Structure formats: structure tokens, C-alpha cells
Amino acid sequence: MTAARLKILSGAGATLQDAGRHGYMRYGVTPAGPMDPLAFATANRALGNDLDATAVEVSVGGLSVVTEGPLDVAIAGGGFRIEHDGRALPSNVALTLKPDSLLTLKAGADGAWGYLAVGGGIDVAPTLGSAATHTRSGFGGLDGRALRAGDALVVDAARATLGEPAAMTVPWLDRRPDRIRVVLGPQADAFVPDEIEAFLNEGWTVTARGDRMACFLKGRPLRHAAGHDIVSDGIAMGAIQVPGDGLPIVLMADRQPTGGYPKIATVIGADIGRLAQAQAGVMMRFAAVSIEEAVNARRAERAALVPAIRLEPVVRTVFSSEFLLGLNLIDGVTA
Amino acid sequence: MTETPSSHLETPRFLDAGEAALVVEFGATVDPAVNDRVLALDAALRARTPEGVTETVPTYRSLMIHYDPLTLDRGALVEAVKGLSRAEAAERAPGRAWIVPCCYEPAFGEDLAEVADKVGLTPDKVVALHSGAEYRVYMYGFAPGFAYLGGLPQALGLPRRPTPRPPHSEGALMIGGGLAAVASFPMPTGWYVLARTPERLFSARRDPTFLFEAGDTLHFEAVDAAAFAELDARAGAGEVVARLVEPQA
């Protein structure tokens, strides 16, 4: 194990995240952490890291990095188009980056957040026990800000054992954002039953306004039974608040820990990542489930990450000249 | 959102915020009696935390209990809370009382003249009212170390601004919507800035990181700009400059 570094060439909206800054919500501190906790944990699992090791969260702004020293990395989630020294790789992939090699992630047709984990984890001094970046309060990551060109991420205990690129077999990341499961409440009673029905039966479109704090939805506005101001109470990850304009807002990793709008429902833990990965323009519906179903889905998620992740070598799509010549001859015959 | 004493729930309501957070609601208003019950349950849960409870967040009127539902069953959590609510009488220790220095001079109390104009009092009278009151820390929220305070004299009850003003300084003492607040992080705000405290509500390098707990009471003590500068330097070096009032024996 030796130290290695990842130098950032570009990466608009990319941040360092661990599993979040927990235990300080009572003091107004936002937990932050990954937008898609399952994809984040999957990338770490593929490397044998602790599931909460600090990794790079990549937004649709993409990422471009150069290595100093050999380094195992795994990328999961978000359906990014990945290139390593000019070679296209699957979007969920693990490999050893050789020294001075270039890795780029570009947003794909689906998905919004990808995770670049490194063998041994990225070393960052924690703020209140966590490296998770929350830019609004300036906590975590590098000086509390998003990554930018010129940053160098340090990996003290770097490993380089994976070798050639391998596709990760992670079927649990094949999630369609069309149906998002919720538990109704805590303020479902702020809406008449017809409006709850409308919330569940009508389609909602993800708007381009979203960020790490919230996902803003468009559709037929919901009417409150008696006003849209409540005395502030706690906000859980995935809480769906409905402000005065009647359009639902799903509160995500960078949410404030308390707030004063009625919350009609809460996205279940297992569907947080599914929702986070929805690009602007995606239409979805909400489905109400029981606590029991939500817990079962959470249990299945956790079970998926217990065994080691299967890695399949990526077959090189570079053909020998002899083979190509053969193709040409056959082409010549049939032409 | 003014303070309104009201009938509160005899037995709390249990509301689910998804499968990993339970809201224990004691009322729907800003009321010290409701908040007392929230804080009593919070203290009881912190003293004897059931395995699987990860974090508790007290607010004006309810306690949010974050938990791992794969470790702790929802039904078992509700039973544990009911048991504690009955014993809640085990009454939490009273909050601490603090004297918090602050400066109301124009460079610090940027909106004092505007507030005086709006409520029809002289600036001196506004300062006398604001610094003469006893405040309760109801809860934190909005940003790290942003404390919501009850106890604002009714004469200073003023709706929040329709549109936010530019960012205030660190340590701003603000009023709005019938409540008071102390803010640690500079931010645009719909509240009115009356003064500034040199005390750090939040400092990652100090123990304690956050100075006040929900349930503490605060009194503000006016100091001049020179005293502010001296206290600010000491607070910046990590010293606590607010003073604890020792409980009467």
C-alpha cells in the first residue's frame, strides 16, 4: 500500500461524500451524504471498502481525473459514459488505474449521480465526524466546497490489485424511476382524501430545478385542506413537502433538518436513489406502501451488498488485423 | 407563527416520516408547555437510547426519532416511547440560563431603526424591550447553530419581510413572525437584525461545538462597540464569552 493521488481536471457539481454527517440535526446541521446511497455503497463494496468510505459523487456535469500512482477504482450508478485512456468502459465498472492515466465520466441518457470510489478510500479531515460535503454550510470535502480543476485527492492506503477493467454485476442498480414508493404522512391529514388520491394517481414530472437539496416536481397542483403553514417539525430524507403553490418538493441529502410545510408522504429508503437518478423531464407516479413493505425493501437492499460483487472481465473490442481482413474478404465475396 | 398557549395532546400522536423516522407529536403550536414535553422525551431517550435509535431532533412541538428499522421494529419503538412518556415526568433537568452579550449600535443592529419605525417605538425602547426579555431556545433549524427563540415581547411582534434582506453578519440577533433568533452563519433573511453577539453559537474547534441546548434560557446584555471588539477577539480565540447564571440553591 502506497499513497496515490487523483487530480481533478474538471467536474462541475462533483463533491466528496461519505455516508453523511449524522448526530447533529438537533443543532440545525444538514446530514448531506450521497444522493443515491445504494449506488454509493455499491461502489465501495466492489472494492472491499467500508460501505461508507469517502468517494467522489459525480453529477451530470461529469468528471475528468488523472492518476498519480496506481490505484483501484470502482464506478457505480447514474449510467455515465466512461472512458479510460480513450477506451469506452461499462457504466458500472472496477479497474486499476495506471499512473498518469486519464479517466472521464460523461452524463448518459439516463441517470444523474455516479460514484467514483477508490480502494482504501479518499483521505479527508472530517468536520463534525464526517467528510460529506455540504456547500451551503461549508462543511466537509475540500474546504466545504465542490471539487474543481486543480484539486488533488489523497489516498493514503492506495491499493492496485484489480488489474484490467471488469464490469460489475449489480442488477439492483437497474431501477426505473417511473414508480416511486412512499409511506403516507407525517402530515397527510393536511390534505383531503381526494387530494391524496390525486397525489398517488396523477403523473409528476421532474423539473430541471433540482439539486442536492431537493427534487422539484411539476403536475396538477395539490390543494391543502387548511393552509400550507404548519409549525416547523423534523424533515426526513425523502420527505415530500407541499408548499403554497401545491407542487410537491422531495427533500434530499442537502435538506434542512426542520421545516414548516406539510409533508404529504415520504419516499421509502429503497427508492431514494431511484428518484435521485431521474433526469429532468422524467414522469413518475407515487405508490403508497406499508411500513412493512418499506422495511422489506430496505432489507433486500442491504442483503444485496453482503456477498462480494461479481466482476466480469470486459472483453476488448479491439480486433486483430487478420480478423478484420477476413471480414473484408467475406464482404468482398458477398458484395 | 406567534407563540400561542393552547390545549396540548394528552397522549402524543405517532406519525411516520417514512420507515426510518417516527414523529412523536405533542401539539400543533408554539407553546412552552408543549416544548417542555418534547424536551423531556428527548432527554429520556438520550439517557436510555433504545438500540437502533440513531438520532433525535427536538422541534417546537414534536420529537423526530430517526431509527434503523432493520435493528428496531416500529412497534417496539412506539412501546419504548410510551413507556418513557409515562415516566417523562422523570422530568428533564431544567435548561441552563445564559447572559449573552450583544451590541445594538447601528453598525451591529442594522435594522433597529426600521423596526422602531414599524412598531411605533423609539429605538431605545425597542432595545429596552428586546434586552429585557427572557428567551427560551425552542429548537435549532435552518442552518448549523441557527437557534429559534420564544419569549419576544408582544410589542415587537412583526411579520417577517415579504422578501429577504441581504446576508446578515455572523451572530445576528433577529426578530420576525413574533419570534426571535440567533444566527451563526451569514445568510439572506426575511427576519430583522436588531443586534449582534460576539459569542459563537457554533465553533467546530471548541468543546462544546454548539453552545446552547434546546430548553436553555437566554438574556441579552447590551455592550458598546469597544466591548464588542474585545469580546469578539476572545470568542474568536475559542473562549466562551456568554455567562452561565448559576441556579439558585
Task: Kindly state whether residue B117 falls inside one of the protein's structural domains.
Answer: yes
**In chain B, which residues touch A (CB < 8 A)?**
1, 15-21, 23, 25, 28-30, 42, 54-64, 66, 69-70, 74, 139-148, 185, 202, 204, 209-210, 214
Please provide residue A25's backbone torsions phi and psi, each rounded to the nearest 5 degrees. -60, -30
- For A96-108, how does the pLDDT look when each residue is reduced to its tens digit (9 = 90+)? 999 999 999 999 9
Q: Which residue of B has its CA nearest to A25?
A: B57
Q: Check pLDDT > 80 for residue A278.
A: yes
Q: Check pLDDT > 60 for residue B126.
A: yes
Residues of chain A with CATH 2.40.100.10: 179-303
B184 conformational bin, left if phi > 0, alpha if psi -120 to 50, beta if neither: alpha
Partners of residue A136 in chain B, C-beta under 8 Å: 143
Residues B66 and B101 in one domain: no
What is the CATH classification number for the domain harbouring B133? 2.40.100.10
Q: What is the pLDDT of residue B4?
A: 57
At residue A331 the predicted structure's pLDDT band, cuts being 50, 70 and 90, is very low
Cβ of B17 within 8 Å of Cβ of A23? The answer is: no
Q: Is residue B244 classed as helix, strand or coil in its secondary structure? A: strand
Cβ of B1 within 8 Å of Cβ of A231? The answer is: yes
Residues B214 and B119 in one domain: yes
Return the amino acid letter for B134.
Answer: E
The verdict on A258 touching B (C-beta cutoff 8 Å) is yes
Residues B157 and B214 in one domain: yes
Q: What is the pLDDT of residue B207?
A: 87
Task: Kindly state whether residue B3 falls inside one of the protein's structural domains.
Answer: no
The minimum CA-CA distance between A66 and chain B, rounded to whole Å, is: 33
The verdict on A267 touching B (C-beta cutoff 8 Å) is yes
Task: Kindly state whether residue B7 falls inside one of the protein's structural domains.
Answer: no
- For B34-88, how does the pLDDT look when each residue is reduced to its tens digit (9 = 90+)? 999 999 999 999 998 999 999 999 999 999 999 999 999 999 999 999 988 766 6
A contact test, residue of B3, B6, B16 with most A CBs within 10 A: B16
Which cell goes with B178? 413574533
Q: What is the pLDDT of residue A328?
A: 52
Residues B73 and B105 in one domain: no
Q: What gap in Å lies between CA A141 and CA A213, rounded to an integer?
A: 17
Nearest to A291 among B16, B146, B210 (CB): B16
Range of the domain at B26: 13-90
Residues B107 and B86 in one domain: no
Report cis status (omega within 30 of 0) of the bond before A186: yes
- Rounded to whole angstroms, what are the CA distances from A125 to A68, A71, A117, A144, B144? 21, 21, 17, 11, 19
The architecture CATH gives domain A179-303: Beta Barrel (2.40)
Residues B131 and B225 in one domain: yes
B contact test, residue of A24, A26, A134 with most B CBs within 10 A: A26
Residues B73 and B133 in one domain: no
Please provide residue B49's backbone torsions phi and psi, each rounded to the nearest 5 degrees. -80, 120
ipTM above 0.95 for this complex: no
Q: Check pLDDT > 90 for residue B148.
A: yes
Residues B193-215: what's their mean pLDDT? Answer: 93
The verdict on A225 touching B (C-beta cutoff 8 Å) is no
Residues B102 and B86 in one domain: no
In this structure, are residues A214 and A252 in contact, taking their beta carbons and an 8 Å threshold? yes
Place of cell 415516566: B87
Task: Kindly state whether residue B5 falls inside one of the protein's structural domains.
Answer: no
- For B229-240, how does the pLDDT look when each residue is reduced to its tens digit (9 = 90+)? 999 999 999 999
The verdict on A296 touching B (C-beta cutoff 8 Å) is no
- For B161-176, how does the pLDDT look when each residue is reduced to its tens digit (9 = 90+)? 888 888 888 999 999 9
Q: What is the pLDDT of residue A230?
A: 83
The minimum CA-CA distance between B81 and chain A, rounded to whole Å, is: 17
The verdict on A302 touching B (C-beta cutoff 8 Å) is yes
Which cell goes with A146? 465542490
Task: Kindly state whether residue B8 falls inside one of the protein's structural domains.
Answer: no
CB atoms within 10 A of CB A332: 8
In this structure, are residues B57 and B96 in contact, taking their beta carbons and an 8 Å threshold? no
Q: How many domains does chain B have?
A: 2
The minimum CA-CA distance between B146 and chain A, rounded to whole Å, is: 6
Q: What is the pLDDT of residue A47?
A: 97
Cβ of A234 within 8 Å of Cβ of B62? The answer is: yes
Residues B20 and B118 in one domain: no
Q: Check pLDDT > 60 for residue A335.
A: no
Q: Check pLDDT > 90 for residue A75.
A: yes
